[in-house]
Amino acid sequence: MARLAWTYLALLLLVWALAELVAERTVPTLLLAYLPPVIWVWPAPLLLLLALLRWRKGGRPAIFPAVLACLLALPVLGFTWHAPQPAWPGDLKVLTYNVARGGLGTAARISAQIRSVNADIVTLQEVNGLRPGLTAELLAGLPGYAVSRAGAEVMTLSRFPVLGTRELILPGTGRRFLVSRIGAPGGELSVVNVHFGTVTVSRVLSGQIMPTRDRRAQQLDVLLREVAATSGPVIVAGDFNTPPRGQVYRALSAELSDAWDSAGRGFGYTFSSQAPVLRIDHVFVRGLKVVGAGVQPPGGSDHRALAVQVRW
């Protein structure tokens, strides 16, 4: 039993290292990085239970590696815990939400969920509805916002004046990133609404995973160059299709602060909405303090919305 527990602990450490450090460089390690981490860690509590049963019968050697495996499982799963902070006047609330083209909910349901958060700035992805009129119906249920849009699928809403917008053209795809300059009460800030290309099993099976990886790297380069060239506070929010590990995530977190890591409580999983196992929707900031972050209940999408509170 002890040998089994030590072997599993070593394998878990190896998988973690490959997913973190090698990640997108090879197909196998890319899959390790992008698959739900529960696939790697589910044996840990089972081993601990078996070790405890053996301990009651006088066998102790397996307890230590089984406990270590369970402790390692928490950061592998992305668990974090920060004490809640009270809201201050002047705090900004930001919501990011991939609405999945309205395929899983009506515009009324989606807009009601967004209204319930009472966000100052909302970044939406996949607003190009499966049926005509979805965007108009959605906006009709969200009065009081200034609207910016890039291409067909990303849209940013702001309760404050929008001073300017531009699209970032992405190579190899019809998607666009949307940059909005917003005049908030605390000062001007830039909001970048993103939707990265998707890593899917179907692309692995069809041999398209490496081209997808390369396009995502190009999209990352466009984003990082934009952030580097932007002065003042920056919020980058959206569906990154990127878990909190690997080279893409490390490059982002080297330049920006991940809101969930700064103020989240729990795992922060946003996909899929009914059985969340991945944290792929993020809010990153620069020049602002994150004081709260929370994943919203399931609504009319296959993603869950992420709400973040930031302070000047």
Domains belonging to the chain, first-starting first, are 2-77 (no CATH), 92-311 (3.60.10.10)
- What is residue 5's predicted lDDT score, i.e. its pLDDT? 87
Ranges of the chain with pLDDT below 70: 56-60, 200-207
DSSP string, 7-67: HHHHHHHHHHHIIIIIGGGSHHHHHHHHS-THHHHTHHHHHHHHHHHHHHTT--TTHHHHH
DSSP string, 212-272: HHHHHHHHHHHHHHHHHH--S-EEEEEE----SSHHHHHHHHHHSEEHHHHH-EE----BS
Closest CA to 40 of 73, 67, 18, 68: 73
Are the C-beta atoms of 99 and 124 separated by less than 8 Å? yes
Q: What is the edge-to-edge ordering of all strands in the sheet holding 187-195?
A: 162-169, 176-184, 187-195, 234-239, 281-286, 257-258
CA angle 111, 115, 120 (to 5 degrees): 120
- Global pTM value: 0.94
- Cβ contacts of 59 within 8 Å, gap of 6 or more: 1, 2
- What is residue 201's predicted lDDT score, i.e. its pLDDT? 57
Buried b / exposed e across 286-305, counting CB within 10 Å, b at 16+?
bbbebbbbbbbebbbbbbbb
